[in-house]
């Protein structure tokens, strides 16, 4: 797989979001007001990396002062160290294209955002995340820290320029692949079945770096367009939560299992993973798209295996909270809502960001009542 990459990976790497960037009105000192800047923002990129492209649009109208650039979406300051695609998935539930953002060159909200000094800050943030991911996977960060200078430089350049093949070639040296991943082995490399695990280290198998973002959409259940914008990061819960892939003979650990592990509170009195899986297999029916979409019963969570489908407004796929009022409404990764019976290793291999974290955005509906009674 070195240096080639799957089709899905290519989509991730080539993915971009059209942005329409407005200068904040307080920083417009000329008439007429400058036109907004229209640019394509790579999904796997970071907003500060766009500043050199954006600046020329607005440089003539800025008030005197030193640039400290930051962005907001409907008043919410955007964390620059979260990949742009993740911000979009999380904050723009009903995707708007172009995505309207506001740029500020002054008045950095240092109480809310870590300082950013352009590409260097982004690079080090990337490197630290990569180190953390390596530590989660291998139990140490040595492979990242012992990279040659050339490789380090090339790795960052490949991310910056979105050169996937160069990236895969260099990052393969870091030995950050998933150990013993059932799915990809069967499909992609049947020959290296047993020895691969040893090359990374014993018993580290299957610890996956995950960044989980959980957003409460409250009562606004049916139409994502009705969900009001988030105004503060305090209303979003996000954390690094390694997922330990559970292996059992003959069973595939799928995305459903991973979500269940990340948010067990939404899976009350669930049958064990085994039972659930056998059910999935039994009920593996072709008419996935349409049937029982409004049925709240978790058992209708049946989808065809290894098929990646964007599901819109079909929010029944997830089980409900113990209170009966809280449920997972949406799981979005790299702009898609993958079916939950996709093997988790496939999701990880294909949908991770280049710092080796899988960013999972989850929308949940927790009504005020049920959160109060807790």
For residue 131, the surrounding DSSP H or E stretch is helix 119-138
Smallest CA-to-CA distance from 155 within 168, 145, 142 is with 168
Quick one: 183 or 238, whose CB is closer to other proteins? 238
Nearest distance in Å: CB 286, other proteins = 34
Indicate the residue among 272 and 374 with the shorter CB distance to other proteins: 374
Cβ distance 360 to 212 under 8 Å? yes
Closest distance of CB 145 from other proteins, Å: 3
HSE-up (13 A, CA, CB side) for residue 275: 6
Smallest separation (angstroms) from other proteins to the CB of 166: 16
- Of 179, 173, 79, whose CA–CA distance to 130 is shortest? 173
Smallest gap from Cβ 371 to other proteins, in A, equals 5
- Which value, in Å, is the radius of gyration of the alpha carbons in the chain? 22
Residue 57 or 81: the one with the smaller Cβ distance to other proteins is 81
Residue among 100 and 128 whose Cβ is closer to other proteins: 128
Look up residue 75 and give its two tokens.
Answer: 């008043």
161-186 core/surface letters (b: 16 or more CB in 10 A; e: else): ebebebbbbbbeebbbbbbbbbbbbe
Binding site for other proteins (CB under 8 A): 79, 81, 110-115, 120, 124, 127-128, 130-132, 135-136, 139-142, 144-147, 149, 152-153, 209, 214, 216, 233-234, 237-242, 263-266, 321-323, 326, 364, 366, 370-371, 373-374
Question: Of 2 and 237, which CB lies nearer to other proteins in the complex structure?
Answer: 237
User: Least distance to other proteins from the beta carbon of 364, Å?
Assistant: 6
Minimum distance from CB of 127 to other proteins (Å)?
5
Beta carbons within 10 angstroms of residue 298's beta carbon = 21
Q: Which is nearer to other proteins, 118 or 289 (CB)?
A: 118
The number of beta carbons lying within 10 Å of the beta carbon of residue 127 is 18
Q: What is the smallest separation between the CB atom of 337 and other proteins, expressed in angstroms?
A: 19
Cβ contacts of 182-187, under 8 Å, gap ≥ 24 = 182/247, 182/252, 182/253, 182/343, 182/345, 183/252, 183/306, 183/343, 183/345, 183/346, 184/1, 184/345, 184/346, 184/349
- Measured from the CB atom, the residue of 184 and 216 that comes closer to other proteins is 216
């Amino acid at each position: 797989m070195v240096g080639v990459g799957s089709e899905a990976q290519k989509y991730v790497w080539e993915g971009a979001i059209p942005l329409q960037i407005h200068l904040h009105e307080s920083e417009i000192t000329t008439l007429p007001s400058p036109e907004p800047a229209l640019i394509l923002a790579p999904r796997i990129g970071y907003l500060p990396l766009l500043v050199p492209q954006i600046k020329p649009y607005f440089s003539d109208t800025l008030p005197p002062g030193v640039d400290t650039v930051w962005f907001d979406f409907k008043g919410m300051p955007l964390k620059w160290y979260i990949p742009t695609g993740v911000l979009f998935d999380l904050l723009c539930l009903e995707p708007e294209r172009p995505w309207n953002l506001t740029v500020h060159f002054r008045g950095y909200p240092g109480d809310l955002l870590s300082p950013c000094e352009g590409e260097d800050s982004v690079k080090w943030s990337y490197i630290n995340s990569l180190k953390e991911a390596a530590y989660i996977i291998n139990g140490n960060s040595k492979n990242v820290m012992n990279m040659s200078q050339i490789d380090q430089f090339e790795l960052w350049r490949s991310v910056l320029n979105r050169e996937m093949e160069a990236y895969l070639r260099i990052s393969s040296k870091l030995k950050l692949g998933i150990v013993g991943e059932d799915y990809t082995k069967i499909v992609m490399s049947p020959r290296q079945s047993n020895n691969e695990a040893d090359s990374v280290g014993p018993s580290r198998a299957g610890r996956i770096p995950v960044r989980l973002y959980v957003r409460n959409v409250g009562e606004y259940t049916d139409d994502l367009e009705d969900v009001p914008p988030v105004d503060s990061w305090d209303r979003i819960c996000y954390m690094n939560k390694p997922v330990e892939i559970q292996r059992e003979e003959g069973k595939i650990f799928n995305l459903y299992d991973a979500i269940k592990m990340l948010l067990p509170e939404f899976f009350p009195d669930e049958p064990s993973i085994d039972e659930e899986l056998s059910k999935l297999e039994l009920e593996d029916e072709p008419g996935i798209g349409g049937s029982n979409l409004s049925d709240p019963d978790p058992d209708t969570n049946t989808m065809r295996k290894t098929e990646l489908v964007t599901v819109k407004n079909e929010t029944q796929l997830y089980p409900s909270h113990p209170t009966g009022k809280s449920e997972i409404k949406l799981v979005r990764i790299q702009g898609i809502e993958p079916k939950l019976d996709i093997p988790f290793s496939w999701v990880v291999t294909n949908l991770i960001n280049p710092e080796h974290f899988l960013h999972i955005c989850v929308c949940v509906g927790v009504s005020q009542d049920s959160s109060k009674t807790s």
